[in-house]
A and B are shown apart, each in its own frame.
Chain A
Amino acid sequence: MSALRFNELRGEQVAYAIERQERTFLPDRDHCPLCPTLPGGPPTEIPLQAFEIVVFDNRFPAFETPHGAAEVVVYTDQHDASLGTLPSERVEDLMSVWRHRYAELSAREDVEYVYIFENRGVEVGVTLHHPHGQIYGYPFIPPVPRLELSADARLGGCAQCVLMDREVLDRERMILETSAALAYVPFAARWPYEVHLSMREHRASLIDCAPDELRDLGRSLQRVVQAYDRLFDRPFPYVMAVHQAPAKRPDDGHLHIEFYPPLRTAEKLKFLAGSEQGAGTFISDVQPEDAAAALRAKVEAGGV
């Protein structure tokens, strides 16, 4: 059972889930717990011989009932796939799954913030290679979403709408535009190839999106990830963070997806070191406009 302690000096919660020390760590593909359970094979987390998308309670939860939730979202039964290589229909279906989980978890009394995310690559701490994401239902609003709510107050309205308008006017950092979504390297990106994929219209959460908007979001998401993989001609590691309205404040948010990739070149990592960790100030080696130009070319190389 995990436990929370409040770090007074930083004004934030820290979760202790010591059982997670025992979680499966980079198993070989014959012992992948996210593959289907096949006849004669070892049982996995998914006792089905084939599946499309599966969600289950994390065996090693950072949060659990009655103090939140931790779920695993497995995108496919194909071990070697990725968001970029899945059929586009599957990524569109994933948006419906996210929406379903957001709605259900948001309704729980012990969940204040539903956070959908994916860690991709050992560079960001992945312990299982099978394509999957996770969902945490926090029993509080975590610091980053809370900062975004503060930005709304500071900018006198939806911060995401304001920032997106600026990017549309500037255009220099835009990498993808569709009828429903925009993707850009933010003006003050912290990570070398950080990208924000945002709903063009104000949509507080996945629940507010029409079916065609969800399909567009899924296609756009896949195009961003494919551009990443083309950038250095290798699977591109990232943390993907879906930000939307807090569970009990359904109007206070703007659905967008932030990517934090740790690579600054094909071989070099951006580490969070002294300035980032001790002072909270990112120092980046890549100009956001240059990152956007490189990524825009890779999006265009993939076509629509």
Chain B
Amino acid sequence: MSEKPQPRADERSLEPEAEEHAGELTVERLRKDDGRALIAYWRERPER
């Protein structure tokens, strides 16, 4: 049985803050290690 993939260290450091939509897109708000905001907009958001 294969081991479930684990998130990489820098992905673990992203702390999800909220989720919303912009038109047909899913909005994923994240924060980088240094505190800067990062927003990912997805039409097809991958499973994490």
Contact = CB atoms under 8 A, between A and B. Distances in A.
A49 B11 CA distance: 9
Interface size class of B (residues with CB under 8 A): 20 to 34
Interface stretch (A93-101, A156-164, A174-182): A93-101
Contacts of B38: 46-47, 54-57
A244 B23 CA distance: 19
A43 interface: yes
22 contacts: A39-B8, A45-B32, A47-B11, A47-B32, A47-B38, A48-B40, A49-B11, A51-B40, A52-B25, A53-B40, A55-B41, A56-B37, A57-B36, A93-B24, A96-B22, A96-B23, A96-B25, A97-B22, A99-B23, A100-B22, A100-B25, A214-B23
Interface in B1-48: 8, 10-11, 13-14, 22-25, 27, 32, 36-44, 46
Interface string A89-117: 10001001101100000000000000000
A214 B40 CA distance: 20
A97 B36 contact: no
Contacts of B27: 100
A56 B32 contact: yes
